[in-house]
Amino acid sequence: MSDSKSLVDIVKHEQGHFDAERILFLDLNSRNLTDANCLSICRNLIILNLNNNNLNNIRGFGTFTQLQKLSLAQNQIHSLDGLQSCENLESLNVAGNNLTGLKSLAPLLHLTHLRSLCLNDRQNNLTNPLCNSSSYQKDVKNNLPNLDILDNEWLGQGFQERLSSLESAIEQLETSNYKSKPMTNEKPTIIVTQATSSDRSIHIANDEYDELFQSIQMLVK
């Protein structure tokens, strides 16, 4: 059975249908796949997990213009050609592949929204040959200045910018909600971005606002 047919069968089994235009999230971890280019018909994918397969190229991924998070860890990929058209990609995990030099990352130069990149996952002992260079992190930072997270670690500049923004936001909250306005029971709903490899956003309920606000105050004092 071809990978193309098996992928369709997998999705039909797990989703109950295969309507390519309606598929937004796909988890195809550990499926022993050697080719996933047939997924290019799923043009509206937002999150795609292809970890732990046998992929050696992703040339057919150019149609994923809506894709935001892509996990390709533990495959046999030696080139990222195909990703340059994934203009909305924010998070990419390619740890545990065969990327041998900075040239293999060239397609990422086109991805202005990319904020998180994992090439070397120390916790799971997944890396790439290019990570053997002592200067690879510096080189990656220089070539991809918009990155906030590299190898599951916050980059200094990005962290400082976010901390500065957080302090500014807290100051505005103090002024608008605790000084200028009378006390009321209404509290805003805020969003906090976790500094983790999953790169998720957590919506904080209104009744949790006070506790979170006090914690942040202690953090930045």
Gap between the Cα atoms of 127 and 195, Å rounded: 21
pLDDT tens readout for residues 150-205: 999 998 655 556 666 666 766 776 666 555 445 444 444 333 333 333 333 333 34
Predicted local confidence at residue 96, as pLDDT: 98
Minimum mean pLDDT range among 78-92, 95-109, 192-206: 192-206
Q: Tell me the residue ranges of DSSP E strands in the chain.
A: 25-27, 47-49, 69-71, 91-93, 116-118, 149-150, 153-154, 190-193, 201-204
CA angle 93, 157, 160 (to 5 degrees): 110
The H-assigned helical ranges of 153-208 are 156-173
Residue with tokens 């109950």: 16
DSSP 8-state class, residue 124: T
Examine the pLDDT at 123 and tell me if it is beyond 70: yes
Averaged confidence pLDDT in the chain: 79
Predicted local confidence at residue 133, as pLDDT: 94
Phi, psi of 77, deg, nearest 5:
-75, 130
68 versus 18: the higher-pLDDT residue is 68
Q: Which CATH superfamily is domain 3-154 in?
A: Ribonuclease Inhibitor (3.80.10.10)
Relative to beta strand 190-193, strand 201-204 is antiparallel
Gap between the Cα atoms of 149 and 158, Å rounded: 8
| Whether this model's pTM surpasses 0.85 | no
3-class state of residue 218 by DSSP? helix
**Band of the pLDDT at 38, cuts 50, 70, 90?**
confident
pLDDT tens readout for residues 124-146: 999 999 999 999 999 999 999 99
Produce one character per residue of 72-88: b if its CB has 16 or more CB atoms within 10 Å, e if not.
bbbbebebbebbbebee
Share of the chain above pLDDT 90, in %: 55
Predicted local confidence at residue 202, as pLDDT: 35
Predicted local confidence at residue 129, as pLDDT: 98
Minimum mean pLDDT range among 23-32, 74-83, 169-178, 181-190: 181-190
What residues does CATH 3.80.10.10 cover in the chain? 3-154
> What's the average model confidence in pLDDT over 18-46?
89
Residues in a beta bridge with 150: 117, 153
195 versus 119: the higher-pLDDT residue is 119
> What's the average model confidence in pLDDT over 39-55?
94
Examine the pLDDT at 219 and tell me if it is beyond 60: no
